[in-house]
Amino acid sequence: MTERPQMNVYVDGFNVYNGLLRGTDYRWLNLVALFDGLFLGYDVRLVRYFTAVLEGKASPGNPGIVARQQV
């Protein structure tokens, strides 16, 4: 039996949220299950999730955005 190649995944959280979740009722996404399903020929060994720290000026119409990110 041939071993599947190993793969690490690095996720840009801002784009995942804006591309997949914004405007939906969903707030949680199982990234490991998502990538296991997308890359069947690979052994997903690691998923790292990154996001930028927001500043208040990033979203003037959303005053609590910085406080919510700190949770």
Per-residue model confidence as pLDDT tens digits over 48-57 = 988 877 665 6
Tell me how many domains the chain contains: 1
Residue 36 lies inside a defined structural domain of this protein: yes
Residue 16: CB partners within 8 Å, gap ≥ 6? 29, 31
Question: What digits encode the pLDDT tens for the residues 22-32?
Answer: 788 877 889 99
Residue 11 lies inside a defined structural domain of this protein: yes
Q: Which residues of 26-39 are buried (b: 16+ CB within 10 A; e: fewer)?
A: eeeeebeebbeeee
Residue 1 lies inside a defined structural domain of this protein: no
Domain assignment of residue 50, given as a range: 6-69
Residue 63 lies inside a defined structural domain of this protein: yes
pLDDT for 8 beyond 90: yes
